[in-house]
Amino acid sequence: MRKVAVVLAVFIPSLLLLFWGFPPTNIVLELRLPELLLSFGFGGSLSAAGGVFQGTLKNPLAEPYTLGTAAGAALGAAVASVFRFPVEWGALVGGLLSVFFIVLSFRVFSDPLSVLLFGVGLTAFFSASILFLYALFPVYTLQEALLFTLGYIMPVKISLSLFLFVVSLVSLALLIFRSRNLDLISLGDETAFFSGVDPKRERFLLFLISSVPVSLFVAYCGVIGFVGIVVPHAVRFLGYRTGKLLLPVSFLVGGGALSLSQWLARTLLYPTVLPAGVITALLGVPLFLYILWRYTGGRG
Amino acid sequence: MVEVRELSLRVLKNISFTVPEGSVVGVVGKNGAGKTTLLKCLGGFYSYSGSVKVNGREIRELPPEERIKAVNYLPQDFYHPFPFTVYEFLSSTTGKRDEEIEEVLCRLGISAFKNRLLNGLSGGEKVKVHLSRLLLIDPEVYLLDEPVAYLDVSVVPLIGELVREISKRGKTVFITSHDVNFLYELCQLFLGLKEGELRLFGSGGELLEKSREIFGVELKAFECNGEIFIKTV
Amino acid sequence: MKRVLFVFFWVVLFGLNGFCFDRVVSLSPALTDIIAYVGAEKKLIGVTVFCSGEVCRGKEKVGGIVNPNVEKIYSLHPDLVIATTLTPKRDVEALKRLGLKVLVFRLVSLEDVVDATGRLGELLGGDGAKGRKLLRRIRRAVLPLSRCLKGKRVVIVISSRPLYVAGSKSYLGEILKLAGAEVVPDTTFSVISYESLVELRPDTVLLVGNGNLYLLARFHVVRVKPADELLHPSPQVLKGIGELRRAVCGK
């Protein structure tokens, strides 16, 4: 039954995104296929990273969006575009720098809520820096900058979208390969250490591997929130609990979720195209609040 | 054999002792005396100064897979925010086969929990699950941090029985607890800590003698119907 | 030599190609106005959702200026898509990848507007002189303005929160300069602080559009309303100049 749910969550959004309105073949190949690869790969990477962030930090509310990795990558991309460097490299540097900050904050604070607040602060700072940068160097219009911080999936070349999709698959494979370590760290540093895993080193590695594709996608699609937080919880709820299952199923469901959001973003107010991040926030925030209530209110 | 030489870290100051194989060692002291820190150091969890050797091998220098078979630790804190079943927990932490896991669960009388979620269990039940993990790995040295703190009275004797059985197989066990009665009955050796200093290394009798120094209160043993009870005076 | 000939051949071919566009999508309301001005509105098939005038009645809507719907545009099978520099490069590139011809115009200065009018007149109406004619008409239209604006220091405010101004290098500033006014600051369009507005010491603050008069109370404010026509960098400004004259000179 749950397998059917996962398969449907993958195929219905993908088919809607590809074939809604039965467009001509070259539209499907030139526009919709890159769009599907981008949104599926991005949603999948976000959700796998969400699962990793939550497990390694023992924090049910962690994901690249809430902890500032996405905003860091976005700032990196913005800086790179101002100085005419490749945006991918800028995003990678920005994303990995924020990973470093978060791991550091985890060592300093150790309590989940403080780490989350630290991430919220980072996100606010990075987003403000992006708008500041655009005000200083108007390479883009303010509206465009705003779309970027809201997560707007723009048309890109098929080769680029394919490359990004492959990167997200490689990262997923590496994560699945290390998924036992993720499970162990989520059970506590002591349990991990006495099961033969160095929790500090492994936490950093897992963070790094999962943040690379997220950062690259952010360079092209901007910051998209709430997919990474809601999807892993939904997948655990379906009974895929250990990392070996949690990560690939999260990737599939997350990919489907963002593809569905992108389809809605394109179809709801046709012909106006909304930022996909607006849809994920509209759908995701109620679920986010439910998770917050369950884990903080319901813990005692 | 566990040899500790000039171990220092945080509160711990210059601790040295040698414990023979097969002993059950009670680690006592007030809150904050360094009991948990000492146990974690024995397991190599912290990078301490000094030396901790198990059967002649320095713990810090062992590769992880040998280290966990030499010493292993039962943690105090069992906060798991994410759902795992007991079976998933045991198989991912130990990597053991199904039958072995079922056998250990049966020995601890928790076979029924196999497919239940870990965070749906009570504190005492969680301790048993974590104990199963240790039993599956079966290290040379068991470090049990407050194993009876969450258990109800009916289960405490079972843990004592288990510890005796483990030590009979030549394994060394270190236990911390605030339940002096439980330790006095179980342990041959005691390590008494006060503000990170080793004030006592000896038998139960010596523990009672030095109780005022270590706990700040006088402890005495009473005999009643052939059983011994410790009480504050 | 052969290569030069080859290139020349293609340039000529493309040049000829330019005269037969008759399915045009415009991604800018201002460019839409220009098309209407050169009399080619029949060739226009798609416009943005921001276009509400007579020209756009019955035309297909193809999304916004910064977020156009590439698929919708393609589905109309246009032979020319025109956009301004406001439309993101990546959308323009996607349209080009689909094999569409896209022309991108910069519409900031008066010269930009005049050039675009000339170019679109040439491409769609066969009349390249429309641009120069537009410039002449604008020159003539501002003449009566100079009576009331000559020698005055003017700041053109487009919105008051934040304070967004059109400077001397914008088409609005250049039009007022033609009327003999001294337009400050020396920029195209920018956001400035109230303090710098005070420092600019304008004789007149020209409020084009809606804005909070209370915030500009210490200045001599002239409000131009309706201002839509003035705000389009297109031949619409001709009508706007009429409004401007009524507002500045009275009657």
CB B29 within 8 A of CB B211: no
Q: What are the structural domain ranges in chain A?
A: 2-297
Task: Note which residues in 85-124 of chain B have CB less than 8 A from chain A.
Answer: 85, 88-89, 92-94
Q: Which amino acid is at A71?
A: A
* Least Cα separation, residue A13 to chain C (angstroms): 18
Q: How confident is the model at residue A299 (pLDDT cuts 50, 70, 90)?
A: very low
Task: Note which residues in 35-54 of chain C have CB less than 8 A from chain A.
Answer: 49
* Least Cα separation, residue B169 to chain A (angstroms): 21
- What count of residues does chain B have? 233
Chain C residues lying within 8 Å of A273, measured CB to CB: 63-64, 67-69
Cβ-Cβ contacts under 8 Å between A and B: the total is 67
CB A71 within 8 A of CB A126: yes
β-strands B2-9, B12-19: how paired? antiparallel
CB contact under 8 A, A184 and B92: yes
- Over residues C47-105, the pLDDT tens digits come to 998 887 788 888 999 988 888 999 999 999 999 999 998 888 889 999 999 999 999 99
Residue C13 lies in a domain: no
In terms of domains, do C147 and C124 share one?
A: no
Q: Please tell me the distance from the alpha carbon of residue A62 to that of residue A184, in angstroms, as a whole number.
A: 17
* Per-residue model confidence (pLDDT) at position A298: 45
* Least Cα separation, residue A205 to chain B (angstroms): 17
Coil, strand or helix at B115? coil
More confident residue, A137 or B219: B219
For residue C9, what are its two tokens? Answer: 């051949």
Q: Which residues pair with B44 in a beta bridge?
A: none
Q: Name the nearest CA neighbour of C204 among C174, C178, C184.
A: C184
In terms of domains, do C240 and C175 share one?
A: yes
Instruction: Supply the CATH number for residue B52's domain.
Output: 3.40.50.300
In terms of domains, do C152 and C240 share one?
A: yes
Q: Please tell me the distance from the alpha carbon of residue A55 to that of residue A206, in angstroms, as a whole number.
A: 10
* Per-residue model confidence (pLDDT) at position B39: 92
Examine the pLDDT at B26 and tell me if it is beyond 90: yes
Chain B residues lying within 8 Å of A241, measured CB to CB: 82-85, 88
Q: Name the nearest CA neighbour of A31 among B156, B30, C100.
A: C100
Q: Name the nearest CA neighbour of A166 among A8, A15, A38.
A: A38
**Segment (H or E) for B215:** helix B211-215
For residue B26, what are its two tokens? Answer: 């009670």
CB B219 within 8 A of CB B211: yes
In terms of domains, do C172 and C199 share one?
A: yes
Q: For the ranges B5-14, B104-113, B214-223, C137-146, which has the lowest average pLDDT?
A: B214-223
- What count of residues does chain C have? 251
- Over residues B152-204, the pLDDT tens digits come to 788 888 888 899 999 999 999 999 988 888 888 889 899 988 888 888 898 88
CB C117 within 8 A of CB C131: yes
Total number of domains constituting chain B: 1
Chain C residues lying within 8 Å of A32, measured CB to CB: 71
CB contact under 8 A, C69 and A271: yes
Residue C36 lies in a domain: yes
In terms of domains, do C91 and C172 share one?
A: no
CB A115 within 8 A of CB A59: yes
* Least Cα separation, residue A46 to chain B (angstroms): 19
In terms of domains, do C120 and C202 share one?
A: no
CB contact under 8 A, B43 and A194: yes
Q: Which of A183, A194, A295 sits opposite B81 (nearest CB)?
A: A295
Q: Which residues pair with B192 in a beta bridge?
A: B28, B200
CB contact under 8 A, B84 and A241: yes
Which chains border A (3 or more CB–CB pairs < 8 Å)? B, C
* Per-residue model confidence (pLDDT) at position C251: 56
CB contact under 8 A, A187 and B43: no
* Per-residue model confidence (pLDDT) at position A300: 37
Most confident of A39-48, A106-115, C116-125, C162-171: A39-48
Chain A residues lying within 8 Å of C68, measured CB to CB: 273
Coil, strand or helix at B121? coil
β-strands B49-54, B57-58: how paired? antiparallel
Q: Please tell me the distance from the alpha carbon of residue A92 to that of residue A73, in angstroms, as a whole number.
A: 6
Q: Which of A30, A147, A156 sits opposite C66 (nearest CB)?
A: A147
Q: How confident is the model at residue A178 (pLDDT cuts 50, 70, 90)?
A: very high
Q: Name the nearest CA neighbour of C190 among C215, C172, C212.
A: C172
Q: Name the nearest CA neighbour of B73 among B133, B114, B22, B31.
A: B133
Considering only CA atoms, give the Rg of chain C. Answer: 20
Q: Please tell me the distance from the alpha carbon of residue A130 to that of residue A149, in angstroms, as a whole number.
A: 8
- Over residues C194-217, the pLDDT tens digits come to 888 888 899 999 998 777 777 788
Which of the listed CATH numbers 1.10.3470.10, 3.40.50.300, 3.30.420.10, 3.30.70.20 matches domain A2-297? 1.10.3470.10
Q: Please tell me the distance from the alpha carbon of residue A104 to that of residue A68, in angstroms, as a whole number.
A: 13
State the residue for tokens 């706990």: B215
Q: Please tell me the distance from the alpha carbon of residue C127 to that of residue C140, in angstroms, as a whole number.
A: 21
Q: Which of C63, C75, C86 sits opposite A273 (nearest CB)?
A: C63
Query: What residues have CB less than 8 Å from A196, skipping those under 6 apart?
Result: B64, B65, B67, B68
Chain A positions contacting chain C at CB under 8 Å are: 23, 26-27, 30-32, 135, 140-141, 143-144, 147, 152, 154-157, 266, 270-274
Coil, strand or helix at B69? helix
* Per-residue model confidence (pLDDT) at position A177: 96
In terms of domains, do C167 and C237 share one?
A: yes
Q: Name the nearest CA neighbour of B177 among B162, B190, B195.
A: B190
* Least Cα separation, residue C193 to chain A (angstroms): 14
Q: Please tell me the distance from the alpha carbon of residue C133 to that of residue C128, in angstroms, as a whole number.
A: 10
CA dihedral angle for residue A91, residue A97, residue A99, residue A100, rounded to 10 degrees: 170
CB count in 10 Å sphere of residue B217: 9
Coil, strand or helix at C129? coil
Which of A22, A30, A134, A279 has the highest number of chain C CBs within 10 A, making it the mutation to test binding with C? A30
Is ipTM > 0.85 here?
Answer: yes
Q: How confident is the model at residue B137 (pLDDT cuts 50, 70, 90)?
A: very high
CA angle at C62 for the pair C57 and C63, rounded to the nearest 5°:
110
Q: How confident is the model at residue C156 (pLDDT cuts 50, 70, 90)?
A: very high
* Least Cα separation, residue C72 to chain A (angstroms): 7
- Over residues A141-162, the pLDDT tens digits come to 667 777 788 888 888 899 999 9
In terms of domains, do C195 and C222 share one?
A: yes
* Per-residue model confidence (pLDDT) at position C61: 92
- Over residues A196-238, the pLDDT tens digits come to 999 999 999 999 999 999 999 999 999 999 999 999 999 998 8
Residue C4 lies in a domain: no
Cβ-Cβ contacts under 8 Å between A and C: the total is 61
HSE on the CB side for A168, CA within 13 Å? 31
In terms of domains, do C114 and C161 share one?
A: no
Q: Name the nearest CA neighbour of A273 among C93, C66, C30, C26.
A: C66
Q: For the ranges A4-8, A91-95, A285-289, B16-20, which has the lowest average pLDDT?
A: A285-289
Considering only CA atoms, give the Rg of chain B. Answer: 18
Q: Which domain holds residue B209?
A: 2-232
* Per-residue model confidence (pLDDT) at position B141: 94
Sign of CA dihedral A178, A179, A180, A181: positive
Examine the pLDDT at C11 and tell me if it is beyond 60: no
Query: What residues have CB less than 8 Å from C98, skipping those under 6 apart?
Result: A26, A27, A30, A31, C70, C74
Q: Which residues pair with C205 in a beta bridge?
A: C155, C221
CA distances from C4 to A74, A270, B213, C7, C8 (A): 45, 47, 102, 5, 6
Q: What percent of chain C has pLDDT over 90?
A: 39
Instruction: Supply the CATH number for residue C80's domain.
Output: 3.40.50.1980
In terms of domains, do C183 and C155 share one?
A: yes
Q: Please tell me the distance from the alpha carbon of residue A1 to that of residue A62, in angstroms, as a whole number.
A: 29
Q: Return the HEC string of chain A.
A: CHHHHHHHHHHHHHHHHHHCCCCCHHHHHHHHHHHHHHHHHHHHHHHHHHHHHHHHHCCCCCCCCCCCHHHHHHHHHHHHHHCCCCHHHHHHHHHHHHHHHHHHHHHHHCCHHHHHHHHHHHHHHHHHHHHHHHHHCCCCCHHHHHHHHHCCCCCCCHHHHHHHHHHHHHHHHHHHHCHHHHHHHHCCHHHHHCCCCCHHHHHHHHHHHHHHHHHHHHHHHCCCCCHHHHHHHHHHHCCCCCHHHHHHHHHHHHHHHHHHHHHHHHHCCCCCCCCHHHHHHHHHHHHHHHHHHHHHHCCC
Q: How confident is the model at residue A293 (pLDDT cuts 50, 70, 90)?
A: confident
Over residues B32-38, the mean pLDDT reads 88
Mean pLDDT of chain B: 88
CB C184 within 8 A of CB C167: yes
- Over residues A89-130, the pLDDT tens digits come to 999 999 999 999 998 998 888 777 888 899 999 999 998 998
Examine the pLDDT at B229 and tell me if it is beyond 50: yes
Over residues B222-228, the mean pLDDT reads 79
Total number of domains constituting chain C: 2
Residue C82 lies in a domain: yes
In terms of domains, do C165 and C121 share one?
A: no
State the residue for tokens 């709820």: A237
Q: Please tell me the distance from the alpha carbon of residue A27 to that of residue B76, in angstroms, as a whole number.
A: 60
Q: Which domain holds residue C174?
A: 143-249
